[in-house]
Structures are given as structure tokens and as C-alpha cells.
Structure 1
Amino acid sequence: MPDQSIRHKSHRPPMPGAAECPAPVSPRKLLLAAGAGHFVEWFDLGIYGTLSTIIASKFFADGDPASALLSTFAIFAAGFAVRPLGALFFGPLADRIGRKRVLAIIVLVTSLSTFAMGILPTHAAVGAAAPLMLVIARLVQGFAAGGETSSAVTLLFEYAPANRRAYFTSYSAAIGFVAFVVGSGLALVLTAGLGEDAMSAWGWRLPFLLALPLGIAGLLLRLRMQDTPDFLAMQEAGEISESPTRETFRTARVAMLVLSGIMVIKGVGHWMLQSFMVSYLQTTMNFSKVQSFLAATICLSVVAVAVPLFGLLSDRVGRKPLLVGGTAGTLIVAWPALQLMSFDNMPLAVLGMVLLGLPLAAYDGAINATMAELFPPRIRSGAIAIPYNVSVTLFGGTSPYVATWLIGATGYDFSPAYYLMFAAAVTLITVLRWVKETTGPRAEAAVAA
């Protein structure tokens, strides 16, 4: 990691009487402060998907396990359904009151709602009230998540040196994968240590309960941060938008539509890899819980390491080559990757998951900087949040449900691969037709006419 301090680089000469530039911030402290809360956010969201098969047995009546799993994924999708509302609230709010304050609010709300899931009574105790309470907790969690990625990416982008923007912003995605690694790794350790019976009886609650102390730590780290140089410069110059939402829809409609298309593969690819594949290995490919958690932990560890490396590459060769390569790679490997998981061979199953993960890592190396470069600082957080969350809601939150439904409806174990290929094709066409290079000597306007 570069060891130089990051200083305020205003887009204009200092105004007479302006406040002094913020003190230098070391990259290590920046990534720790921004990443700690992001880790909490995605650990909280991911643990639900990782433990989906256990949640299905706890919150729904005994009967058809496939129907219970579909219901669990439906509740998972419900949390995404409110994310656009959270985006409309938190995204523009970060453009008005600052990235730091909004990120602090978000991590607190998320950790409390996740902790609540860990103390909910089960269906055996309270009947139909159990899934209802689970839905409420997921809705609160999803509302908060609507502003997390846009605010975190904006903060990292606005602090990053101009020649390291993809690298710095890629840590947002990498930390998300690390959070999933910790979640699946914790599930693996608890299942192996407690045994499957104890894990199913009460051990599943422990990761959810861990959300509260993690959230408090993330909150403290975020409150100690200073807001971004771009936001402080706008604040000092009196250039904060009075109505970021109205300005966003008036000036950035085309760019937001393009971003929605770019996000399709992120929604489907990420949530299939992070949430669906664990249950897929167990229920469709007949691996044990321990084997499934282990495969997910290995795969997501590889992806977490690869994302910043692809970020460095994007800063050298541009955004578009990584976006094209990542989506085209997903289109090519989706079906062979699922085929590898069907051979009742653990190393081949891990290889299949890694094959799915690496093209997504390449895409993630460039996407966050691309998002931020589409919009000016006045509306950046809100303009990212709205299309990002609409697309991820439509295609991401529903992807575990759709993938599970496809298998049941078609009787074809590899049918989820075609949904993944569809998502990759949509994003690839969007990138090739409408996205221009945004960095380096070939940089143009971000969105083609």
C-alpha cells in the first residue's frame, strides 16, 4: 500500500479567508476508518445468506425444506426491496451533511437490526410471528444498506490520489468480500466446533449477536474521521447543493441509466457467489455444511485478495478493459464453473467457485472508480446510490430466489448459470455501447451519447 499521506487537493485556488486544508491522512488510517464500517455492513448482510438453510428450518414450519428455503430467500429479497428508499434518503443526505456522518448513522442502524435477528424467537416458539419479525429486521437492515456503498465509495474516491482511484475504491469491494470470508469462516468454525446439531439449535445466533460490538467499533472509527477534501471544499465555498435529489435527476439522468445497466452483473454475480452458492452446494450438489462453508471461505478469500490487484491494474490500463474483461469472463465461465461443482469432488467444487469469482474480481477492480467518475462531487453520493440500489434490488436481492426457483422449475441443476450469463450479457452490452474510458490518456466523457 502506498505510504504517502493524502492531502486536500481542491479543484480551485484557495478562497481568501478559507479554512486551512485538512491535515494529511495516511492511507492506512483512511482505509481502516472507511473499511471498518463497510466490513460491519457486509458481514451483517452476508451472514444471513450464509446461514440461509438453518434460518429456513428455524423460522418456517416443518414440511417442505425447498419451500422453506425459497421463503428465506424471499425475505432476503425483501431487504433489498427497500434499498432504493434508503438510497433516496441516505445518498442525497451524504451530499448535504457529509459522507462521514451518514456512514456513522448507517453502521449503527445495520448492526442493531442484525443483532435483533440473533435474539428473535423461532417458529417453534411463536409460530407465524417469527418470520414476520424477521421481515421487519431485514427491512430495517436493507434500508440502511441503501446508502452504504455509495457513501463509502465516494469517501474513498475523494481522498484517493488521482492515479490511485481504482486501487483505493476497490478496497470497498475487497472489504465486502473479506466480511463474507469472515462470515463463512465463522460459520465453518462454529459448525465444526459445535457440531451440526448444536449449530442448528443455538449456534447460528452467535454471528448475528457479534454484529453489535462490531457495529460499535465501526461507529467509533467513522466518527473519528474527517470528511472528504471535496466535501469540505464545497462546504467552505458555499457550493453544497440545496436539493441534491432534484439536481441529480435534472442533470444526470442518462449517466444514472447507464450505471443501472453496469450494475446488473454486480447484483446477480455477487449475491449468487456470496449467498446462493453455499446453499446450492448443500441442497443441489449434496456437499455437507462444513464442505460448503469451506469452499465459500476459500473462494471469497481469493477474490478479496484479487480485487485490489485488479484495482492497481485498472489505474494503469483504464476502467473499460477491466469492465469488459470481467463481464465477458463471467459469460464464458458460468456454465463450466457449475459443471465442476457437480462431480462430488471438493477440490473441483472450490475450483468452480474460484472460476466464478475471478472475473467478478476483475470487474470490481474498476467499477467503483467508474461509478464515482460518472458524477460531480455536488451530487456524487446520491447519483451513485439511486441507480446502484435500484439495479441491485431488481437483480441482486432476487438472485438467490430466482436461482433456486429455476432449479425447481426446470429440474436442471445448472440452470442458474444461464441467469448469470444473462446478467453478464446485459452489463457487457451496456459497457461496450455506452461507457467511455474515464482515466488515462484515452479518457473521454464518461458516458457515450
Structure 2
Amino acid sequence: MTQTAGGAPEGITVTDNATMKRAVGAAAVGNITEWFDFGVYAYLATTIEEQFFPPDNPALAQVGVFAGFAVSFLVRPLGGLFFGPLGDRIGRTKVLSITVIMMAVGTFLLGFIPSYSAIGIWAPILLVVCRVVQGFSTGGEYAGAMTFIAEYSPDRRRGFFGSFLECGTFIGYALGATVATIIPLVSSPEFASTWAWRIPFFIALPLGIVGVYLRVKLEETPAFQTLLSESEEREGQQAGAGIKKLFRDYWPAMLMAGGLVVAWNVPNYMLTSYMPTYLEENVKDVGGTAIDSTTSQILQIVILWAAVFVIPFLGRLSDRVGRKPILWAGAIGTIVLAFPMILVLKSGSVPLVALGLAVMAALLICFSATCPSTLPALFPTEIRYGGLSISFNIFVSAFAGTTSLIMTAVVLATGWAYWPAVYLIIFAVAGAAVLLKLRDPAGQPLPGSNPAVSTDQEARELAASRG
């Protein structure tokens, strides 16, 4: 919707900075809650093995833990298909509130599951049920928040504001890792093995309540209300036609989105969900030297928190130099440095492991800081939410979310340490292939949308420059 408050010219959207910043903040805080839950699961993977799986088969337990992680990704496309149209009908803030509380409740209940020694096979079954709830909710979360922020950011600052969504992701992971690391250190051995490890899962519920409160309080601007009204009308008249149109006319955009999604999210889950197990356990099976779990977790916590402060800088930089230069740095850097990263990670030297993790994180955030503002620009307004939601969740589920499961299985089966490097290179090449064809969206209006600026003065200047 064109906003002309203060005499701004027709055809140019002037964003309400105060409302936009509140929207970005609420979306990011909700994302913190979502990814705190995933972070807790990833950083307590070893404890989950001991609690929920048979103790006489460690390899099977490892695969089982990561299968529980991967199953949540298998239901994400279903969550996207369900929550996407629902958001068009009842409002995005309401749906984002539903998804965050579902994730929090699923994680909270996971903390109450009795151990394998108490209930046998029901322990891993209930674990999977909780993970399904988490995954289904996440399917409706991220693409909607990404679309919302992108549509309400000024064209020249979309990279900066979009990057805060990923700040929420890293903060959530870092909080999950921090809590999962500290609680066992301050607990007695007996309490740590019985109830202390459950406390991080219990924390998810109050975090979810905070997320719901912030999202319910999130203002829906008149422009957003109009967008919802138009979406509801289209949904009611031709929902099936919209999906058919998406796959018929926009499959190239979906493939391009998928290439960026895997180049971004495979390193993401390699770093945050698989590396703790690789450094502490798998590396011993491939002739490397493991580091103790506390050191591993502290290193990753420090790196995750450092990334939080770097991501907005890269987002702002992408508004100035373009998205593609930063994305190219991530793709080429991963291709060139993947094998050296794994070489130092298996060394057992704490400084070298820290260096390897830092390099992996630096390459990852080249994507994290720019993709939230790049992906929404692949689709026009009338198909953006559905196209982004479906393509994002399909590719994350098929390739990125299974990273830990696949890496654990192939590393243990072959005894070769460098499978993570091969996996990273494959998907970095996929991202590079997309970049060859991608038109840099930095500073440009979203397809099908009016130019968006921050002030009436900018709007008048833009109108004058357009003649």
C-alpha cells in the first residue's frame, strides 16, 4: 500500500520507522525462542544419547539422536503449507505467535520424558513426537518472519534490518549452548545426571511466553492490513491456482532460492548441530584427537556470540556494496577452505580448533547476514510468502536439516574425517551456481512492490529523480 503521510508522492512507500523497528525486534526475539530450543537439543546431544537410547550401542544412539533432530525437518514443509495460508487469513502476527508457543511447549514437554531405563522404547518415541511438534511449528515461522521484515524495510536498508533476524538465530543458539554448558558445571554429578540436564528444556516455556507477548503486541500497519485483506481474497478464490502458478511460472525462482538456502543452511547446521559431536566423539573414530566437551562448548559459545555482533555489520555493508560480493565471499571461501578447516578441527589443539570454528562461522555469516534480504526479492508480492515458504522449507528439510544425521552415519561408516568438507563444498558450489544468474537486489524495490524509503523527504527526492 502506498503511504503518503506528510505529503509523500504517490507510488512511493514511506515506512513508519518506529513501527518497523518494533516489528523487526519482535520477529528477532521470537526467532531467539525458536532457535534456543534447537540449540539446547544440539548441545545436549551426548546427554540425550545416554538418557533416551540403549546404552549398549553407542553408534546407534548417535544416529538415533540426529535422526530425532532430522525428523523435525521432515515435517517442516507440512508446517509451511499449513501455516502459510493460515497467516494470509488470520494475520501473520497471530500465526507467528502460534508457532513460537508450539515450539516452546514441544521443548518443555521433552524435558519431562522419562529415560530409556525407565520406560524403554517409549523414550525415543516420545522424543520423536516432541521433535515433530517443534518442526511443524518451525515450518511456519522463519519464511513468514523473513517476508514480513523484507516487505517493511526501506529499500536502502533492507540488508541491515533483515540481518537482525539471523541475529535472533545466533542468539538463540548461543543461549541454548550457554545454558546447556553452565548447568552441568554448577550441579552435583548426581543432580546433573538426573534433573539438571532437563532445566534448559524447561526454560523454553517462559521464553515462548515472552515471544508470544511481543508478537501479539506487534502492530500491524495499515499497509499490512491491506496486504492481508488482499491475500485473504486470493486465498479464498484460488488457493489451488496460486500453488499451481507458483510451480508452473516460478520454479526457476524456487530453484534459485533452494540453491542459496542450502549454501547457507548446510554450514549453519554443520557448525551448530554436528560440530559438537564431531569434535567430542566422531573425531576419535577417524584418527583425530578429540577435545573435551566443556572446551568444545565454550569455544562455540564464544564464536556464536561474536557472530551476533558481526552479522548486522555485514548486513549494513551489503546495503552499500551489494549482496552478491558478500555471498561470493562465503561461497568461494567455503570451497577453498573446507578441507583446511576440517584438518585443524581434527588436530585436538584448542587454538587450532578455535581457528577452524571461527573460519567456518565467518563464512557462514556471509550468507546469514544477506540471505534474509536476498531471498524475498526472488518472488513478486502476490506469490512471495508462498514461494519463499515452500522453497525454503523443502530445501532445508531435504538437505540442511539432515546434515548431522548424514555426517554421523558416513563418518562412522567410512572412518574418513573429511566428509564434512566434501558436504560443505557440494552445497557451496550450488550457491555459486545461483550467484552466476542472480541479479543483485540491494537498494532495489521488491518485485511487485512500490519503492520504499524511510522519510517523506527521501520520497520527494526519489520522485524528483524519477522525473
Pairwise mapping of residues 276-425 of structure 1 onto structure 2 (< 5 A)?
276-283=274-281, 284=283, 285-425=289-429
CA displacement at 1:23 relative to structure 2? 6.6
CA displacement at 1:146 relative to structure 2? 0.4
CA 377–101 in structure 1, closer or farther in 2 if over 3 Å, else same: farther
CA displacement at 1:8 relative to structure 2? 5.4
Pairwise mapping of residues 8-157 of structure 1 onto structure 2 (< 5 A)?
13=10, 25=18, 28-157=21-150
CA displacement at 1:378 relative to structure 2? 2.9
Letter in 2 for 1:396: A
The aligned counterpart of 1:274 is 272
Segment of structure 1 superposing worse, 188-197 or 177-186? 188-197
Letter in 1 for 2:63: L
8 Å contact kept, 1:310–1:365: yes
1:247 aligns with 2:242: yes
8 Å contact kept, 1:244–1:378: no
1:426 aligns with 2:430: yes
CA displacement at 1:216 relative to structure 2? 0.6
Segment of structure 1 superposing worse, 247-256 or 356-365? 247-256
CA displacement at 1:141 relative to structure 2? 0.7
The aligned counterpart of 1:202 is 195
Q: Distance in 2 between matches of 1:9 and 1:112?
A: 43
Over the aligned positions, Cα root-mean-square deviation in angstroms equals 2.6
CA displacement at 1:233 relative to structure 2? 3.1
Letter in 2 for 1:188: T
Q: Distance in 2 between matches of 1:428 and 1:88?
A: 28
8 Å contact kept, 1:59–1:130: yes
Letter in 1 for 2:386: G
Segment of structure 1 superposing worse, 163-172 or 405-414? 405-414
Q: Distance in 2 between matches of 1:428 and 1:329?
A: 11
The gaps in structure 1 that reach 5 residues or longer are 1-6, 15-20
Deviations 1:117-167 (A, max 9, x none): 011111111000110111111011100100111111112112212211011
8 Å contact kept, 1:82–1:143: yes
Segment of structure 1 superposing worse, 36-45 or 436-445? 436-445
Instruction: Give the number of the structure with larger relative contact order, counting CA–CA contacts within 8 Å between residues 6 or more apart.
Output: 2
The gaps in structure 2 that reach 5 residues or longer are 284-288, 449-467
Given candidates 154, 164, 180, the residue that maps to 1:161 is 154
1:182 aligns with 2:180: no
Among all aligned residue pairs of Structure 1 and Structure 2, give the percentage whose two residues are the same amino acid.
Answer: 35
Deviations 1:355-381 (A, max 9, x none): 001011111121111111112333322
CA displacement at 1:412 relative to structure 2? 1.5
The aligned counterpart of 2:260 is 262
8 Å contact kept, 1:47–1:208: yes
Deviations 1:198-236 (A, max 9, x none): 433321111100011110110011000112554323346
Q: What is the total number of aligned residue pairs between the two structures?
A: 432
Letter in 2 for 1:355: V
Segment of structure 1 superposing worse, 231-240 or 388-397? 231-240
Query: TM-score normalized by structure 1?
Result: 0.90
Q: Distance in 2 between matches of 1:266 and 1:202?
A: 36
Letter in 1 for 2:38: L
Letter in 1 for 2:41: Y
Q: Distance in 2 between matches of 1:237 and 1:82?
A: 28
8 Å contact kept, 2:88–2:232: no
Residue aligned with 2:195, SS: helix
Letter in 1 for 2:242: E
Query: TM-score normalized by structure 2?
Result: 0.86
Q: Distance in 2 between matches of 1:255 and 1:295?
A: 38
8 Å contact kept, 1:8–1:24: no
CA 97–65 in structure 1, closer or farther in 2 if over 3 Å, else same: same
CA 100–12 in structure 1, closer or farther in 2 if over 3 Å, else same: farther
CA 55–338 in structure 1, closer or farther in 2 if over 3 Å, else same: same
Letter in 1 for 2:382: R
Letter in 2 for 1:128: I
Letter in 2 for 1:350: A
Given candidates 437, 441, 446, the residue that maps to 1:438 is 441
